[in-house]
Chain A
Amino acid sequence: MLNEMNSPKANRLAGGDVAVIGVGMTKFGELWNKSLRDIFVEAAMKAIENSGVDHIDSMYVGTMSGGLFVGQEHVGAVMADYLGSVPIPATRVESACASGGAAFRSAFFEVASGYSEIVLAGGVEKMTDGADVTDALATAADQEYEVYHGITFPGLYAMMARAHMHQYKTTREQLAHVAVKNHKNGSLNPNAQFRSQATLEQVMNSTMVADPLRLLDCSPVSDGGAAVILCSLEYAKKLKRPFVKVKASAQASGTIALHSRESLTSLDCVSVAAKKAFKQSNIKPYDINFAEVHDCFTIAEIIVTEDLGFFEKGKGGISVEQGLTSLNGKIPINTSGGLKAKGHPVGATGIAQIIECYEQLTGNAGERQIKNAKLGLAQNMGGSGASCTIHILEAI
């Protein structure tokens, strides 16, 4: 069966006609009773069951640092073993906080190329086992020329926030509006770490972490896993279950150190990847109905929505304040609650974004379902913008 399924189908898959046929995730949060492997296997089993496939041909696991968080590397093999999937190929993919997006993209290539028929793309992180999370996350920045001098990730994004506020008159309240909106969305998501709403005052008065960013501007420390099943469109049609089409897959890199970038108020990796994705799918930013973006900090959502072309440069702040990105706004952003409220188990985040797109596009997003969801975009980012993946998904 494996051999038959692995036969090259590159010609039939011209243009990369790939579908996401099933999804599964754990609740995000502090999952004290579950290990790294428990979390991944739970998500993967749900995705396999949800898709109706009887096997997978190969798998990719996005994880930022099994080594630093729980002392476990070789995560691809661990997960294949505990998923009962030995001897299929299993590869761990790492691109810091964009590991999930990169894992999805690897799976996409494998299906698009015809090398495999059914591929699982998953992501997982276990961050609450006692590791020094600040130090572990900081390894996604330049260790010798940024972290050495005492900068942290909130600090890097705080420097972007200050530059953006200086250049575009973005206000402190506008940053807070991102958190308020995403907590509101998260309150409607059963898998979210925080289901509590946050008021503007709560965000504005939360503990200062790195001026001007406060605690409620930051995504939390989380455990969680997410997985999706990809297959050819042709195969997906045979399964007779809801599926969505992967319309574009793009990726770009940026300099590892924030100070090496010409602009401190833009994320070039985002605009470059976005251009590629829109070109591939032959659509324009305003054709997108909703997006999941990498709001590791509130300022990130504002900059990313500008660099994706949803808003004019410098207008990301006012757009969130005016409600344009709310659930019933012109372009809902982070309907899942985003990293901010849903949680940010680093390696799982990129896959969880794909899952939210799938749920919205198949009409299964429950209380947070938006109307007319035809095209969704998922933007996943590593470090302070040194890597970015963008996927566009389409309802069928």
Chain B
Amino acid sequence: MISPKYHREIPQRYRLEAGKCKQCGTISFPPRLICPKCKSKNFETVQLSREGKILTFTIIRVGPDKFSKETPYVVAIIELNDGARLTAQVTDCDVNKVEIGTKVKLVFRKIQDEGKWGLHCYGYKAILI
């Protein structure tokens, strides 16, 4: 069972679908209706590159309720090889081994449980290459 709110984001969370501006080439993730760079409204759907590097990160020691059992965990801003940027957890690693510039790869993982029914919600996390 999934909620409409969750369902809407599946193309991005499962398949990393982004919008590439046909006029200037800027990749918007998630897709937008208007290109933030050139205001064009013409996009093609592309899949984000799955590899990239860490631009900055933090180790969450005090987490929100939903994530409190997972602390400490790393959240990073990642620049993918195609230039797109996103925020994701860096998982399956020693939190002390993460550094700015570290190469990572996006993988499919469970992210959290939604609402009082605890619906499983999935998406991308990063692992060190």
Contact = CB atoms under 8 A, between A and B. Distances in A.
Given A149-B123, A258-B77, A208 B61 contact: yes
B93 interface: no
Nearest to A258: B77
Main secondary structure of the interface of B (DSSP, over half): strand
Nearest to A158: B58
B64 interface: yes
Interface stretch (A103-111, A132-140, A303-311, A338-346): A132-140
A5 interface: no
Contacts of B36: 255, 260
B119 interface: no
B104 to A, nearest CB: 14
A257 B86 CA distance: 9
A162 interface: yes
Interface in A53-99: none
B75 interface: yes
Task: State which size class the interface on A falls in.
Answer: 20 to 34
Contacts of A155: 58, 60, 75
A151 B75 contact: yes
A144 B60 CA distance: 18
B111 A149 contact: yes
A259 B78 CA distance: 8
Contact of B30 (A132, A145, A162): A145
Interface size classification for chain B: 20 to 34
B29, B57, B125: residue with the most chain A Cβ atoms closer than 10 Å: B57
B102 interface: no
A150 B75 contact: yes
Interface in B43-61: 55-61
B100 interface: yes
A148 B122 CA distance: 10
A211 B96 CA distance: 11
B62 A209 contact: yes
Given A163-B100, A208-B61, A144 B55 contact: no
B127 interface: no
Contacts of A135: 64-65
Contacts of A7: none
A155 B59 CA distance: 8
12 contacts: A138-B64, A149-B89, A149-B111, A149-B123, A154-B58, A155-B58, A207-B62, A210-B61, A212-B58, A213-B58, A258-B87, A264-B56
Interface of B: 9, 29-30, 36, 55-67, 70, 73, 75-78, 85-89, 100, 111-112, 121, 123, 125
- 9 nearest interchain CB pairs? A158-B58, A163-B56, A211-B59, A150-B67, A159-B56, A259-B85, A259-B77, A210-B58, A155-B58
